[in-house]
A and B are shown apart, each in its own frame.
Chain A
């Protein structure tokens, strides 16, 4: 299946082409170039998936295929960085997700970014991102993952900062890059530690049991009382948490909404932010095998993040930020799903499957939501709820698709979100009822804030618009429709037939108890949302806001996490480390050098009197010299 190489190369070439020659092209031409090439990529990905999943299973599992691999850099005999393509169920699934969403966004952007300055640059960056993301998921070794990990980071930086004259955008892009960079440091150190003990980067060698012996040996060694492998995998999870905006590294994601909306849909909803989940899934064999403790931490972090951001999402008024926090919360779900796999019973793989499933469905409906939001913003030129309301009659297609997506994320059957979320809840309950109930509550919250959003946009009193909003052009609506269709039927994909932790075939069967509970909860919260927000004037929320003013304020301020970071970076790192060091360098280190020079000068001035110009004094010194030397000799001998 060597043609898969094209999937990787095409976007790269397109990036170089658009980046170097783009400004010579017309907007439309450049956009079409990008879109068409990505269309090809998508077709190839689908073909790959079809060919891969139809190929016969070898003793019950889809075998890992490496159609292409070359040595890019060699550190030592054992440690060498390859650039290659590894096809296995999850990577193929990711290929589908990325290419689909990316294609949708490409098409969508043709309309949405129409007439923007730097249109070609935008498409170049999109291609760069697609290339990096694809490279990330098909990585054959952990170092390749890291390489593309950095690349998606930078392309996200470039795209967030697309409006480079807007201070908020600059700040947001900087924040995003630095926070993820900090997390990547953890990832890098994790890689260093792991490779030091395992002496290999390759996923295959790590996973196929050949290096189990070494790893078990390493697992016995400890550093500061914790197993070295736990260190390694834990540090890697920090990297994953950074990219996937887990608490407390989530702060960059809401700000990242400064970028163009399609970018948010592609990068900050569907693909890049789930890279963390993907990484954990990728290394799942090691996590489950050698560091189950880390998995539990992952579960707890995921659950907390999910709850935390769900609460914030309930009070945000910027629709993109609401969606951003809901993204964080949903990724929390996926993390939980992976984390709860430690219940060592027959269903240990369930969470894994569920998480991947949810990753898939979420990508679709969240992209749909963002693109819908984009369409709305395109119409009313604002992100704020107060500028919207009653849009349903103006933009019907957007309204319907958005509603579908909301139902999906709320977990109402038969929409895709229901199935995946249900699996996650089931896994959570198997792990521990408390976890199960927490997640259920969060699911409820999700439904609530999504419908709050929905009602605020499409119902409620109409804000006065300077011109009546109208439905967006086809380039915008077509992707919405396509995604909506995927969202409706995506749930019926027999996911367990393709992706399970052990690779063996597994039939999804709804656990009725869990399913019913979740549906009931979802419906209830939707009802509450309806009561709260459907009417023109929204008394109850206001009243509640009065009652719980403290909580409300804290939530709107995102629990002051940003302020804490602000304090740490500016007050501590800048003011208490950098400035003193710079001062020290200028005044102590450099000052010492200057001091030596100046002291030599002053010494030379202080002895000038010896050259008094008087012969007799010269003779006296002469004599003293002689006497001194004789004395010296007398001392020595």
Chain B
């Protein structure tokens, strides 16, 4: 029995309990119990992991265990985590927890909503704990499909269009991904699907790599909002219900970066070094481009979605720099962006739930009517523009310093270009805050509105605390991740 297995079993258990639960209170009970259990579990895991590392366990993956599944196809259920996955699991559990509270008031078919929500989180957790190509891909797709119903049924706005678009684009990506994975499997001798063993073998011929690296990278990159395949994200996030936006932007988009790093680049280092520059340019574009297009948006969710494009672009940008610092920064950026954007979407959801508009031209003077939410919104904004003391700063600085350490001039120059995005970020964040949070209340209707209720406060406060904690004491996280990215980076550098 492996501790990691619980990350899959608990959601399954939750799904089952939800299936048999009769009324909304039971549903809520199940969700709270389950998500809390997951939160605690990830905390325990982190503790144990750090402990094991402190005891000098230098294995690349800890908590390893294999169950043979399809022996004739070398498909195993291989579990194992390193610092990166631990961090991601922590993030996911926090967001599942807060997402539960953020959608506390959901009335319309709550049971089914949480059913699909749990399936989604099942996929997410499964993806991060497995190190077997097949199993990873399976969990990846499990995480994708519930989005359709969640957005299409419980969403808002042009929900059906957005849901279909999101699902199809991501499925298209996973189609490329599947081709890439099969390519990796067969061109590495078709003896194992275990990532570590494939990396050990390291026998994928160059021409195969040049074919399959782009497939795999783009396949994951689409989920990481890689330009020009990012257009699902604004529509999807705009239409999705709060908790789903949180989980999707917070965690699911991280699957992209994680996969790009863990599968595409780790298993095909030569091609990564060969073709890296193309994707570097693309990611640089999405960093700057996302920020610029966020400036003129008027829908809160669109602004956030585009800023997500910019920030997730930064993740891919950093991992392509292939040095320890930048990559560590990338992972921290995944964490910090996950938390920040989840906070954003939670707050937007709460504001929208009250004002029934997300248009910053109609919102004004929220600070007067709902101070708690507004203050948290300002905090989220400041975190988003990389204010010291919040996670965003740590992540961005690590990325920039790391990227600039690159010996190649081209890399340093595009680093500076990417750096310029922080100014643009400031512009749209302050524009948004100035327009909608500050100022006098324009719409008399708003004066009646109430501030956050306890359940909303729970989710928001948890998120704010985690952002601040990551921003004020980053060193332990930084070390944990830094050690884990090292083997991968070494593979990339040495080859």
**Contact status B231-A589, CB under 8 Å:** yes
Chain A positions 41 through 55: 1 when the CB is less than 8 Å from some CB of chain B, otherwise 0: 000000000000000
In chain A, what residue has the closest Cβ to B302?
Answer: A582
User: Binary interface profile of B, 286-314, with partner A (CB < 8 Å = 1, else 0)?
Assistant: 00010011011100000000000000000
Report A359 CB to chain B, min CB distance, Å: 25
Is B353 interfacial (CB-CB < 8 Å)?
A: no
Docked pose: A597 CA to B401 CA in angstroms: 42
A69 at interface, CB cutoff 8 A: no
| Assembly CA distance A461 to B398 (angstroms) | 61
A73 within 8 A of B: yes
Return the chain A residue nearest B478 by Cβ. Answer: A73
Query: In the assembled complex, which residues on chain A have CB atoms less than 8 Å from the CB atom of B431?
Result: 174
Q: Is B224 an interface residue (CB 8 A)?
A: no
Inter-chain CA distance A81–B430, complex, in Å, is: 28
Residues of B383-419 whose CB lies within 8 A of A: 385-389, 393-394, 397-398, 400-402, 404-405, 412, 415-416, 419
B401 and A181 within 8 A (CB) = no
A178 touches B401 (CB 8 A): no
Are A177 and B368 in contact, with the CB atoms below 8 A?
no
Of B63-71, B252-260, B433-441, the segment with at least 4 beta carbons within 8 Å of chain A is: B433-441
With A and B bound together, what is the CA distance between A577 and B292 in angstroms? Answer: 7
Q: Are A165 and B478 in contact (CB under 8 A)?
A: no
Chain A residues within 8 Å of B405, by CB: 75-76, 79, 196
Q: Closest B residue to A154 by CB, please name it.
A: B387
Tell which of A187-195, A282-290, A426-434, A527-535 binds the partner.
Answer: A187-195
A590 interface contact, C-beta 8 A = yes
CB distance from B250 to the nearest CB of A (A): 22
Stretch from A143-151, A400-408, A471-479 that touches the partner: A143-151
A150 CA to B295 CA in the complex, in Å?
Answer: 22
A165 touches B368 (CB 8 A): yes
Bound complex: CA of A73 vs CA of B328, how far in Å? 12
Contact B479 A151 (CB under 8 A): no
B430 touches A189 (CB 8 A): no
Whether B423 and A182, one on each chain, are in contact in the complex, defined by CB atoms closer than 8 angstroms, is: yes
**Taking the complex as formed, is B228 at the interface, i.e. its CB lies under 8 A from any CB of chain A?**
yes
Give chain A's interface secondary structure class. Answer: helix
User: Does A610 make an interface contact (CB < 8 A)?
Assistant: no
Cβ B295 vs Cβ A181 within 8 A: no
- The one of A75, A164, A185 that contacts B439, using a Cβ cutoff of 8 Å: A164
Indicate if the CB atoms of A177 and B165 lie closer than 8 Å: no
CB distance from A138 to the nearest CB of B (A): 15
Whether B293 pairs with A589 at a CB distance below 8 angstroms is no
Tell me if A619 is interfacial: C-beta within 8 Å of chain B.
Answer: no
Smallest CB gap from A174: residue in B: B430
Contact at A185–B438, with CB atoms within 8 Å? Answer: no
Please state if A148 and B388 are interface contacts (CB–CB under 8 Å): yes
Least CB distance, A455 to chain B, in whole angstroms? 38
In the complex, are the beta carbons of A151 and B389 less than 8 A apart?
Answer: yes
Docked Cα-Cα span, A468 to B437, in Å, equals 39
Is there an interface contact between A75 and B293, defined as CB atoms closer than 8 Å? no
Given contacts A164-B367, A585-B231, is CB(A578)–CB(B295) below 8 Å?
A: yes
Q: Are B296 and A188 in contact (CB under 8 A)?
A: no
Q: Which residues of B contact A222 (CB under 8 A)?
A: none
Which residues of A (560-575) have their CB < 8 Å from a CB of B?
573-574
Decide: B434 and A174 in contact? CB cutoff 8 A: yes
**For the complex, is A71 an interface residue (Cβ under 8 Å from B)?**
yes
Which parts of B464-495 form the interface with A (CB within 8 Å)? Answer: 474-475, 478-479, 482
Alpha-carbon distance A442/B188, docked complex (angstroms): 76
> Is B221 located at the chain interface by the 8 A CB criterion?
no
Chain A residues with Cβ below 8 Å from B208 are none
Do residues A178 and B438 form an inter-chain contact, with CB atoms below 8 A? no
Please determine whether A574 and B426 come into contact, CB atoms closer than 8 angstroms: no
- Interface status of A161 (Cβ within 8 A of chain B): yes
Whether the pair A188, B419 counts as a contact (CB closer than 8 A) is: yes
Distance from A8 Cβ to chain B, minimum over Cβ atoms (Å): 14
Per the bound structure, the CA–CA distance linking A350 and B398 in Å amounts to 39
Contact of A167 among B293, B386, B439 (CB under 8 A): B439
Contacts of B367 in A (CB 8 A): 164
Q: Which residue of B lies closest to A151 (CB)?
A: B388
A residues 123-154 in Cβ contact with B at 8 Å: 143, 147-148, 150-151, 154
What's the nearest-Cβ distance from chain B to residue A634, in Å?
Answer: 32
- Complex Cα spacing A171 to B228, Å: 34
Q: Contacts A73-B475, A165-B440, A590-B231 hold; do A578 and B292 have CB atoms under 8 A apart?
A: yes
Q: How far is the CA of A294 from the CA of B393 in the complex (A)?
A: 29
Most chain A beta-carbon neighbours within 10 Å: one of B168, B235, B296:
B296
Question: Is residue A624 within 8 Å, beta carbon to beta carbon, of the partner chain?
Answer: no
Q: CA A170 – CA B398 in complex, angstroms?
A: 32
Return the chain A residue nearest B374 by Cβ: A164
Inter-chain contact A196/B404, CB cutoff 8 Å? yes
A72 at the interface (CB under 8 A from B): yes
Contact B382 A154 (CB under 8 A): yes
A590 nearest CB neighbor, chain B only: B231
Contact check, B398 vs A75: say whether CB atoms are below 8 A apart.
yes
Is residue B35 within 8 Å, beta carbon to beta carbon, of the partner chain?
no
**How far is it, in angstroms, between the C-alpha of A143 and the C-alpha of B420 when the chains are bound?**
18
Whether B210 sits at the interface, judged by CB under 8 Å, is no
Q: How far is the CA of A275 from the CA of B368 in the complex (A)?
A: 34
Complex Cα spacing A73 to B234, Å: 34
Q: A73-B475, A170-B434, A578-B295 are in contact. Are A150 and B412 (CB under 8 A)?
A: no
Checking A72, A170, A577, A585 against B438 with a beta-carbon cut-off of 8 angstroms, the contacting residue is A170
Q: Does B365 contact A (CB under 8 A)?
A: yes
Which chain A positions have C-beta within 8 A of B478? 73-74
A76 surroundings in chain B (CB, below 8 A): 324-325, 402, 405
Q: Does B37 contact A (CB under 8 A)?
A: no
Give, as a whole number of angstroms, the nearest-CB distance from B365 to chain A: 7
Which residues on B sit within 8 Å (CB–CB) of A544?
none
Interface centre among A71, A75, A76, A178 (most CB of B within 10 A): A75
Additional pairs, 18, CB under 8 Å, beyond known A173-B434, A585-B234: A73-B398, A74-B475, A76-B405, A79-B405, A164-B437, A165-B368, A171-B434, A177-B430, A181-B385, A181-B422, A192-B416, A574-B296, A577-B292, A581-B293, A582-B296, A582-B297, A585-B293, A594-B165
Residues of A within 8 A of B (CB): 71-76, 79, 81, 143, 147-148, 150-151, 154, 161, 164-165, 167, 170-171, 173-174, 177-178, 181-182, 185, 188-189, 192-193, 195-196, 573-574, 577-579, 581-582, 585, 589-590, 592-594, 597
25 interchain pairs, CB-CB under 8 A = A73-B474, A73-B478, A74-B475, A75-B325, A75-B401, A75-B402, A76-B402, A81-B397, A165-B439, A165-B440, A171-B434, A174-B430, A178-B423, A178-B426, A178-B427, A182-B423, A188-B419, A188-B422, A195-B404, A573-B295, A581-B293, A582-B293, A582-B297, A589-B230, A589-B231
Which 4 pairs between the two chains have the least Cβ-Cβ distance?
A: A590-B231, A147-B388, A164-B438, A578-B295
